[in-house]
Every structure is written in structure tokens, then in C-alpha cells.
Chain A
């Protein structure tokens, strides 16, 4: 069953997802968009872990348990991130990264 799709193909999807996420996080000007890019990066890690687990050592649970920890922590991070976006919007009246620039030099 697992041989129908080679491991390399799954890893390529994960790598592509990671790159898309990184590009999104670096190029989006909207704070919510940046957070979404970061979530994509984290999910590509999950795909990696689960794929390695399923193809290479399906009898142990290290891979999926690591992935579950990542999902949990990502949720916590997203909660803090969205709360901060709200705080930014209240003080700055914008969620555009380029306009939030009181600190520089």
C-alpha cells in the first residue's frame, strides 16, 4: 500500500510546501498572511515526520507523537499571534507590516 507512492514524492511535496510557506512568510505584507505562511512551514514539517514514520519505522510512534506536539504548539503560537495582531490593529489601525515601523535605525 505504502509503495504506491514513493517516499521521495511525499518529501518533495513537504519541501515544496515549506518553500511556499517561507516565501509567503517573507513576501506577504499582511500580518495574517505572514502567520499563514508560518503555519504552512509547520505543516510541511508534520508531513515530513509522518511520512518518515509511515515509510521507515511504522512500528514505533515517535513520528506521529512529534507531529502532535507540533500541532499543539502551533495552535498556541497562532493564538498568541492573532491576539497580537488585534493589539497591533488597535494601536496602529493597520495590519500592514510596512506601516508598523516605529522601531528602526
Chain B
């Protein structure tokens, strides 16, 4: 049953919904003049409201989770401590709400990642995007964030489906937002077609799981929701080909959303054609949400089918399937990035390759020792956090360049260091972190997933991943060469809006701090050892 005390547990989701409606309403009910100054004012009003609101919700979610400061039981009771205590009563670690939405550590951490990514995205489009009806644009970003939060906490198939769609449909619209531009409308259309098809495949898998569970109970009246993940796990003792088939269909469906090879076909086109801040959002938050859902689904509903990725032992189960996908993703993603001339497309292929590294962390879950499993979870989450910061920074820099120079080819980066040194340096930090160069967080994230995957027995995959990392240096360094060595076509300085600069600054600061002191977050991430519903 849903109780009134459950409200603080879903407070961030409620606040996101309120903020989205507020952004829409504040634009509709204001009487705007019809000139350029008013139009810019209109964009700024919506953008600032969104940025401030998302920042506040981030802080509230952070306080609620109790990761920074947990109110001790002994403090005297007054107005402020009461508010804080009520807020933190929705903190991690209770049974899922009506069996459908868990507020465990995994949800709390993913919420912070998604809301943080949305905040940085709203900073990226603080000044120039979008052209007309700006409130829709920002409200759609918030709705999509809300969907991601629901995805992260869903412990039921219906809820997972609704979360996925609530995330995806706003993103389709955002990708095709500039409907008069050929590229934007094309990318929105492609995203929609592939996304809808992947949803259908995902749903077919889910319907088979439901049928399997209904069959296992045999209609003998156990009053339980057969779409709940823990229920499926309890019934899955019999196993059988039907459950395996549905698991493969579900992995294929979510594999589309997170763009792993061979389901990656849409992502370079969509990433290249969508408005750059939207690309930043799609490539980070939506991909992270997909991985969180995949993690919760596979570990909670299908733990018996996990199998292993150790070569000579028992290959089989989802671990082997994911290992195969990771292998393909690493090789194809990194090799296809080599000849790219468009910087956005290059980063798109790089983010496909990054998905392969993230899969390594998932594979480690099937390790025989519990210690390795927990390490696998922590490394997966650490990689997701770092990847989010890096790619928001990378695409953010590209959106600044697009605004100033008018293009997003690698040749548009030429001589950026001479035209705007701070931007070039911040962008270089992001690129180096993607490549995995030591002092930055990207290095530690890669090192961590490699170590965990090696310990869990997938050493052959780690060796291949190391090779592809070396290959990837080529295309990352090509961007650095364009920025720092090649002569620019003209020497005029590049102006960068303050919003983009601050978003870049935040993400690069995060990369440096997390790279030098990974223990700051590893302690929090390693709390995700038991996932609700198991």
C-alpha cells in the first residue's frame, strides 16, 4: 500500500514534476513582446528557472540521501532539525513502494547523476538555445530526467517500461527540436524509429517473462504481482528456454537504448544531428539510466541466469552475452571512430566505445566471490559518474564551438588554443579523461573496471579492452592536435557564453577531484551492495 510517509521518499520526483509544470506555466502566463530582445529574455527566463530549480532539487536529493551529512539522533528538536529529519526519513534502505519503486542506494546515487547531468545541460543552453517556445525545450529536459529517476528505481516491469518511455519520448522531441533544420529533424526521426522499435522488442521480452511467471504460479491464486522483479527471480528456478529467450529480447531492447554494438546504428546519426546540449544529455544521462535499469533488471530478476565470462568454465547466461556485446562494442566503437572528420560524430563513436568499458563492470557481477561482485557494482557506478561528467564537458565544449565558429567538424577545432585558451584547455581535460590519461578520473575509472573484470575471470576481454584503449588514443590525440598544433583559419578570439564555461568548469573540476581522490565517492558507491528486491 502507498502510505503518506512514502511521500518524502519520492520527493525529488515530485519536485521535478512541479518544476517542469512551473517552467511551462511561467512561460505561458507571461505576456512576451514580439522582438529579438524579448525573445532572448524569454529563453533566459526559462533557462534560469530550470537551472536554479534543478540545482535546488540536486541539493535536496543530496541532503535526503544523507551521504554528505546525516542528522544524528541526539540533536535537539527545533524547526530546522525537524525539516531535515523528515527529509532524511526518505533516505536509502526501505522496502520498495508498493513493490514497484525502490528508494535504495542505487536509486539515490542514480538520481544525483541524472539531476546533475540535467543541471549541467541546462547550463549549456543558458544563453542561446532554443529559438521559439523555449519553455517546452526546458520542460522536456526535466520530464525526461523524471523518467530517468523512475527508471532507476523501478522494480517492476510495467514501471520499467513507463520509465523508459517517459525518458525516451521527450528525448525524441528534443533531438528533433529544430524541425526546420534538415539535420535536427532527421536525427529526431531516426531516434524515434529506432527507439520505438527497441521498446517493442523490450516489451515482447517482458510479455514472455510475464507469461512465464503466470505459468509457474499456475493460476493457483498467489496474490502477487507477477511483473515484480523479485517475484520473477523467485519463480525462475525452473529456468528454461522461454525465460532465456525473454532475457535476450530484454537485453536487446535496452541494448538499443544504451547503444552497444550491434544495436548502435542510430547513435552516431542522432548524436550528430541533435542540438549539441541535447546530445550531451542523451549521451550521458539517458545512457546511464539504461545501464542502471539493465543492472537492476539482470541482477534482481535473472540472478540464476547469470552464467560466467570465464573462457574454459561454464560459458552461458547473460554474463557471456554481455561479454560478447562488450567485445563487439569495444572493437567496432573504437575502430569506427578513427576515420571520422566530424567532432560530434567522433565523440559519438567514442561514447559507443565507452559503453563497452561500462559493460565490463556489469560482467564482474557474476564473479564467484561476493567481494568481486560488490567491487563490480562500485566500478560500474564510478565509471557512469565519470563518463557523465566527461561527456557533458566534451559536448558542452563542442556546443560553444558550434555557437562561435558555426560548425562541429574536427577542422573547426583548428588552433582553438590560440583563439580561446581556457576553452581549449578544459576541452583537452575532457578528451584526455575519455582517453584515460592518468591524473584524471577517466584513468581510474578504466583501471578500476579492468581490475574488477580481470579478477572475475574475464581476462581475455580486459586484454582486448587494453588494446582498444591504445587505438582510441589516436583519435583523441587527433582532436588535441587540431586544437593545439594546427594553425587556425583566422585568429579572431572565440567568445564563449558564461553558462557553457561554468558547466565545463564544474565537470572538469569533478574530473580532477574524482581522479585524484576517488575515495571521496567510492565509499558512497560501495554502499550499493544489496539492490532492493533481491
Contacts and interface: CB of A to CB of B under 8 A. Distances in A.
Given A41-B204, A59-B219, A77 B165 contact: yes
B273 A103 contact: yes
Contacts of B207: 45, 48-49, 52, 66
A52 to B, nearest CB: 4
B204 A62 contact: no
B185 A56 contact: no
Interface residues of B, number: 52
B189 A31 contact: yes
Given A66-B158, A77-B165, A56 B218 contact: yes
Interface string A77-105: 10011001101101110000000111111
Contacts of B158: 65-66, 69
Nearest to B159: A69
A2 B176 CA distance: 46
A81 to B, nearest CB: 5
Contact of A88 (B185, B199, B218): B185
Interface residues of A, number: 47
Contacts of B217: 56-57
B464 interface: no
Interface stretch (B42-50, B190-198, B306-314, B487-495): B190-198
A83 to B, nearest CB: 8
Interface stretch (B33-41, B72-80, B220-228, B416-424): B220-228
Contacts of A20: none
Interface stretch (B118-126, B208-216, B255-263, B375-383): B208-216
Nearest to B223: A60
Contacts of B190: 103
Interface in B341-396: 341-342, 345
Interface of A: 11, 18, 21-22, 25, 31, 34-35, 38, 41-42, 44-45, 48-49, 51-53, 56-60, 62-63, 65-66, 69-70, 73, 76-77, 80-81, 84-85, 87-88, 90-92, 100-105
Q: 5 shortest A-B CB distances, which residue pairs?
A: A41-B200, A87-B179, A56-B214, A52-B211, A48-B207
Given A41-B204, A48-B211, 20 more contacts: A18-B200, A21-B200, A25-B193, A34-B193, A48-B207, A52-B207, A52-B215, A57-B226, A66-B210, A69-B162, A80-B169, A84-B188, A85-B189, A87-B176, A88-B189, A92-B186, A100-B189, A103-B186, A105-B342, A105-B345
